[in-house]
Structure 1
């Protein structure tokens, strides 16, 4: 407690109201008026004495302080005592605890002080006696423990000796029947004659023991136990000294042999080494890490890594390997591999899909518009929809899959509009797989183009019927017959030529024969008899997906079975969620979607990949489990693709990558389909000289993480119909990252080619500009050998390097020392003209040689 304590602090310290403390101080004769006044230590002691007297406690020396009159001190000391000697020596811990009570003598009382001294002496004497008793007790206990240990050791040795004797007796009993036939002929004469046959020197030596003592008739040496005879019975090839040595060594080391037996597994409770290799059945899934495989095989991880290395697969213990590689290494190590059971969540999802059974009703056809760029696909669809979509696309070309359903006089028809650019091949393939009918649009004035042929191949691969729409027949240079002839070369034969493909000649601009096209689509749909289950859980496929800043992940899906309603839980690839809202192609909100109707879905946990299937489930728990398991499998597959490279591949990369450069790109686009198309198109630009590597990409704007990735990897950021936010722009400006915005895909490809060509640099090429044939050789005192030549090709220039060829083989490379036409020096001599050529530092030129003049030029390397 501080010396300068106020009344308020003292009241808070003793948990008493301030007013009550002021009253108690006033009653004790110390009136205070302010709670913030200081209370001294003397005043506090005085208040304490007053309170003690008030409560009936006798305090004689309150004024002098309240220090205690008796103090008890506890002390302990630890010692170690060694009991016994030799191997039986043991250490005992002795703890001496001492307790001393000191009494404060009263003032003016000498007798009490003397009595206190006597009491302390008595206490010390008792403590010393107690310490001695403790030491003696500890010694006695240590001696008892030593005796018990010796008795246990003796009993153990006796038990081991008895066990050893039993084993030896059993061995002798097993060997006795084999020795009886040989001993019988020897025993018969001894019994008949009474004296036995005479002993050989070896047998006489056998009867002697160590030190020359004779053995009795029983065969055991004098003064030895029966164990020696039992141990060496049947070993007649040993001398007496050798048997004695072995016997003494065996008797001297019984415990060591027993310890070795227990350690090596020869004892009764030791480990018995298996004689047959253990073959384990190992469950292996699609992927497994090397560490997990080693644990299942009960092997060290290094052994599995070594086995993989011998098979040509370089993988560390933490990397994942695929199922086939794991099976091969398991069988190589002598074990059996079995396929791991599939996940229960996927089984439950499959059960959901199988349970969706009901009555099948007719559904609208799904029609995909395909064809070459600028052949009028979107314009045709615009006329049918009475909208203008192509004008909203950058450059007037479609770069997304557009999904629409149109109510016509022939019924409802769902249309998918695919891009026609070469980079969107994956989009066209996806559109062909989703559709029932493919409308192939071909311009009458342009004919069949590469993307037209590609669309035909996609339709055939998907097994979808074709309807050919010959567009732009209203133009002056239109030639529909030419289109039909060119399509016949691709085995697309019109009905009028004996084929089974419907051809419709139309104009998307004027609307000519649009109704005929709808009639052809309806007729083809009736032939296909399209049906689907309307009632029940919905299933379908993702056409396109994007990330909207205000609405989050948005997926355009096409319902194929059942009815998709607002509030349904669904799993879509590695994403899941609950349908918060449904929108049609016009942006209007709807409550449900039936088969063949495309809608936009809001509420997913992330942006799904275009082409992923979606399934409606009962609850969110199942959807989350399935999505997480798929995500884990995808991540493991990606790790497997990155790891476990074969040594041949690594060596090939090392060999081919000496001069290869890498252009890193980060691609961000507005929709998932564009990301895939850009990734495929840009990666395809790679050559042996430069590799274009898309290290990152995704849907949505360029974020700070994208800019940081580009800065660390020195990559170029490409924004396709997206922009960078403020934080990303700050990182880009700080690190000087190359950022480029695009809205047309072929502009992206062209600029990436330019950037890659800049990385490649220039190439030095040699171009032959002229050739002269040596007709004769003249000797000159000034120039040495001078060749009289005729220029037979090109032009020979004075300041260009030359090569001398003999029998079309280069024998010298250098430069011209002189070039003369008659007696005049000239700079160049053209084809068909004679001249004299002096080759610098070369005089071995002969008639019939050729002098080749060339120049070195720099050429920009391109992709």
Structure 2
């Protein structure tokens, strides 16, 4: 059954808007309201006649008295411009409209007649070209049908030949097997009927005619029948000129009757190579596997991973599920921007020259690290530190009489372990400051471990030798236990005795630094693009993100484009440690950089690149990778983890918002406060960052009902308004000890009190007496502690609790007493219990409330 033609399809065939076609049908006396209504052939012919009359062409044998006096020709062409990498494309549409006016009868001139004749000639040529194109399309359709029929005929003949050969072979085998049976009286089996090849040959002979190929008419017949039907599309003409296809014979597959349009099932499973990066979402993995997302989620669930279709999974999990589904996983290539950046860095070449040493001062808190650096710099840094301790890394370069030396001053508190480790990784020499009157302390041991892990030479500065209780020999002996052997003991560690207060031994320390630097032969490329490490970072209200960087190679200049971790930007200004602006910085020189897009993390590497495009692409790719990694960590909800949470009971939570002056302090506070968590309460840092406390921070704290901690920063006016409106807990600190103590107090308040039972005394039953008033009275001896009246008791028999109740009476001889102490006899009446026996023990206890702490 042929499919009906709708107005919408007809408009598409004649390349006319649907609205215009509806208008033409209405003018022709055939009003239609819906574009999806069917149009019959009669209506198409009626519309064709109307259009011919409208355009000045009357019906054959008819004269239109009201023929139009003008004709309008329209032409539209579309040109696509633009495009390319990261550029949009624009479609330019050019429309051209020409109106031709038919002159009045008898009023025209020869020039007008010539113009009219030319127009009619062009219209006739256009109509003839359309007819030729339609004829060409019909011929192409006819040839395509003939080729398909020829291919199908060859397949049928090949199949018939194969069946005939197999039949003859089977008949010969059967004849060979049946030969021995003839002697036993069995008859001959009938051979299968052979196929008549003449039928096939006759069919093949008739298929050569166009008139016999699937009922297709010859070219002349089709052209004669449908030459005047201009309203038909080429597909409709091909369909009308083709007879109904013959039904397939019995046993012949339906796929063979189709002309190559059927679906063929693959003979083997399709194995795909899937590129997987560090992380991938379940939806992207399903798309690469050509599977439904639900099937991938189901396969993950069978492997014990609960993930939705929008969540990310790590590389290993993605590889396992890909191989489980029968495909091959390959690691995705490295990011193009990262590869370009690596080539950018490796391209820096030049002569290496001697550079100043980078020295990190480490040691226990209050052992005089900053005071030592203060004396070397001839400044007053130590009195300005909060609580007299250093709480972030300070970077300075000092022009000493022995040469230029860059110093890094690290904190000594236990919370700043990551800072000290970072300082040991980017330094050349570590100076371990140990107080002669205090000895080796925990942070001293930790500094030794950091220096050994970074394989950095160590110089021990024994400070405070000016004090009366100073004992440098004890310090050297204590360091022997940690494999730090002095040169005077035959080791390789220089130990200098000095006093940061009086200046004794400072010159010896500088000599030791220069000697160690000469041994190391420190060199770097002084020219070219700079690279180095971020020591510290902060957010200044007036200057924006500020990063203190240590240049390790090349020359950092004002105006350079830099990549700093996931941040990038152009260097707007460079400042030294005194606040003075400098035009550039060479190797081993620390400077402050302004102009970054955000606050980088302490410890990130920075690289100078040639243009902003590369810097931006590298930063964006790193940020995307970090975000995927964070999503994978947040979505690591395996089934065993969920079951553990269900079985572990509800855990209390203390939400915190932390803002500090520098990135290193934020990192130290996060680590120190998160370490306070235990099985009962979890310290959750919901938001942290550098800079002042803003309205956004306050709103986040209000949503999570969190406590806000400001470390060397303050809240602005809008943030204070939010704090007052919601009654938030806002606390300011300048010393990290106070932060930890205050958080412990807040957590203890959340935990509340705990009811504990304390055993205060135990008595042993020696004899049981019967009393008409109290029932069974136990004559007992207090063997431990004290028994008090009106306290709960337990009765133990063979160290097993058999009853728990209260004391009804406690007597000594015939008098009631309030308590009985150790090695004293007494009579005990147990309330509502008479089954007490000699040898039992009566345990007296009391319940007390204890404040729960971390």
2:249 and 2:753 map into 1 onto residues whose CA distance is 83
2:602 and 2:432 map into 1 onto residues whose CA distance is 23
Match of 1:716 among 703, 707, 711: 707
| Structure 1 unaligned regions, length at least 5 | 1-72, 81-88, 100-121, 124-147, 189-196, 207-217, 228-252
Matches within 5 A, 1:338-353: 338-353=330-345
- Once the two structures are TM-superposed, the CA of residue 92 in structure 1 deviates from its matched residue by 6.1
Alignment pair present for 1:621 and 2:613: yes
Match of 1:380 among 345, 350, 372: 372
SS where residue 76 of structure 1 aligns?
A: coil
- Once the two structures are TM-superposed, the CA of residue 563 in structure 1 deviates from its matched residue by 1.1
- Once the two structures are TM-superposed, the CA of residue 654 in structure 1 deviates from its matched residue by 2.5
Give deviations 1:815-845, integer Å, cap 9, x for gaps: 1111111111111111111100011111111
Give deviations 1:311-358, integer Å, cap 9, x for gaps: 221111111112111111111111111121112211121112111121
Give deviations 1:369-419, integer Å, cap 9, x for gaps: 111111100011101111111211111111110001111111111110000
2:403 and 2:333 map into 1 onto residues whose CA distance is 47
Q: Count matched residues.
A: 682
Partner of 1:5: none
Alignment pair present for 1:611 and 2:603: yes
SS where residue 754 of structure 1 aligns?
A: helix
Partner of 1:776: 767
Partner of 2:419: 427
1:258 and 1:167 map into 2 onto residues whose CA distance is 18
Match of 2:29 among 45, 70, 76: 76
Alignment pair present for 1:843 and 2:834: yes
Match of 1:417 among 409, 429, 433: 409
SS where residue 650 of structure 2 aligns?
A: coil
User: Is contact 1:258–1:267 with CA below 8 Å preserved after alignment?
Assistant: no
Partner of 2:391: 399
SS where residue 599 of structure 2 aligns?
A: coil
Moved more, 664-673 or 332-341: 332-341
Partner of 1:43: none
1:539 and 1:613 map into 2 onto residues whose CA distance is 7
- Once the two structures are TM-superposed, the CA of residue 78 in structure 1 deviates from its matched residue by 4.7
SS where residue 776 of structure 2 aligns?
A: strand
Give deviations 1:268-294, integer Å, cap 9, x for gaps: 643221222221111111211111111
- Once the two structures are TM-superposed, the CA of residue 461 in structure 1 deviates from its matched residue by 0.5
- Once the two structures are TM-superposed, the CA of residue 79 in structure 1 deviates from its matched residue by 9.0
Instruction: Classify 1:597/1:264 alpha carbon distance in 2 versus 1 (closer, same or farther; 3 Å).
Output: farther
2:156 and 2:555 map into 1 onto residues whose CA distance is 88
Partner of 1:795: 786
Alignment pair present for 1:636 and 2:589: no
1:754 and 1:198 map into 2 onto residues whose CA distance is 107
Matches within 5 A, 1:311-390: 311-390=303-382
Matches within 5 A, 1:309-708: 309-656=301-648, 658-708=649-699
SS where residue 693 of structure 2 aligns?
A: coil
User: Is contact 1:287–1:321 with CA below 8 Å preserved after alignment?
Assistant: yes
- Once the two structures are TM-superposed, the CA of residue 754 in structure 1 deviates from its matched residue by 0.4
1:263 and 1:806 map into 2 onto residues whose CA distance is 90
CA RMSD of aligned residues (A): 3.5
1:757 and 1:654 map into 2 onto residues whose CA distance is 24
SS where residue 370 of structure 2 aligns?
A: helix
Partner of 2:165: 174
- Once the two structures are TM-superposed, the CA of residue 94 in structure 1 deviates from its matched residue by 7.7
Alignment pair present for 1:284 and 2:276: yes
2:156 and 2:468 map into 1 onto residues whose CA distance is 120
2:803 and 2:412 map into 1 onto residues whose CA distance is 57
1:752 and 1:697 map into 2 onto residues whose CA distance is 15
Alignment pair present for 1:832 and 2:785: no
User: Is contact 1:792–1:831 with CA below 8 Å preserved after alignment?
Assistant: yes
Partner of 2:115: none
Alignment pair present for 1:860 and 2:851: yes
- Once the two structures are TM-superposed, the CA of residue 259 in structure 1 deviates from its matched residue by 13
User: Is contact 1:667–1:675 with CA below 8 Å preserved after alignment?
Assistant: yes
User: Is contact 1:77–1:95 with CA below 8 Å preserved after alignment?
Assistant: no
Matches within 5 A, 1:58-77: 76-77=29-30
Give deviations 1:463-497, integer Å, cap 9, x for gaps: 11111111111111111121111111111111112
- Once the two structures are TM-superposed, the CA of residue 173 in structure 1 deviates from its matched residue by 2.0
Matches within 5 A, 1:210-359: 255=247, 261-262=253-254, 269-359=261-351
> Who wins on radius of gyration, i.e. which is larger?
1
1:698 and 1:329 map into 2 onto residues whose CA distance is 38
Give deviations 1:445-464, integer Å, cap 9, x for gaps: 11111101000000101111
Instruction: Classify 1:832/1:172 alpha carbon distance in 2 versus 1 (closer, same or farther; 3 Å).
Output: closer
User: Is contact 1:535–1:563 with CA below 8 Å preserved after alignment?
Assistant: yes
Instruction: Classify 1:170/1:490 alpha carbon distance in 2 versus 1 (closer, same or farther; 3 Å).
Output: same
User: Is contact 1:375–1:471 with CA below 8 Å preserved after alignment?
Assistant: yes
Matches within 5 A, 1:132-143: none
- Once the two structures are TM-superposed, the CA of residue 93 in structure 1 deviates from its matched residue by 4.9
SS where residue 278 of structure 1 aligns?
A: coil
SS where residue 676 of structure 1 aligns?
A: helix
1:839 and 1:424 map into 2 onto residues whose CA distance is 60
2:281 and 2:32 map into 1 onto residues whose CA distance is 57
- Once the two structures are TM-superposed, the CA of residue 162 in structure 1 deviates from its matched residue by 7.9
Instruction: Classify 1:183/1:612 alpha carbon distance in 2 versus 1 (closer, same or farther; 3 Å).
Output: closer
SS where residue 687 of structure 1 aligns?
A: coil
Instruction: Classify 1:412/1:684 alpha carbon distance in 2 versus 1 (closer, same or farther; 3 Å).
Output: same
Instruction: Classify 1:346/1:183 alpha carbon distance in 2 versus 1 (closer, same or farther; 3 Å).
Output: closer
SS where residue 400 of structure 1 aligns?
A: coil
User: Is contact 2:148–2:259 with CA below 8 Å preserved after alignment?
Assistant: no
Give deviations 1:771-830, integer Å, cap 9, x for gaps: 011000011111111100011111101110000011111111111111111111111111
User: Is contact 1:261–1:267 with CA below 8 Å preserved after alignment?
Assistant: no
User: Is contact 1:78–1:93 with CA below 8 Å preserved after alignment?
Assistant: no
2:331 and 2:414 map into 1 onto residues whose CA distance is 42
Instruction: Classify 1:829/1:596 alpha carbon distance in 2 versus 1 (closer, same or farther; 3 Å).
Output: same
Match of 1:807 among 798, 802, 809: 798
SS where residue 655 of structure 2 aligns?
A: strand
Instruction: Classify 1:632/1:786 alpha carbon distance in 2 versus 1 (closer, same or farther; 3 Å).
Output: same
Moved more, 852-861 or 272-281: 272-281
Alignment pair present for 1:734 and 2:725: yes
User: Is contact 2:248–2:257 with CA below 8 Å preserved after alignment?
Assistant: no
Instruction: Classify 1:326/1:182 alpha carbon distance in 2 versus 1 (closer, same or farther; 3 Å).
Output: closer
Instruction: Classify 1:159/1:694 alpha carbon distance in 2 versus 1 (closer, same or farther; 3 Å).
Output: same
- Once the two structures are TM-superposed, the CA of residue 632 in structure 1 deviates from its matched residue by 1.1
User: Is contact 1:265–1:271 with CA below 8 Å preserved after alignment?
Assistant: no
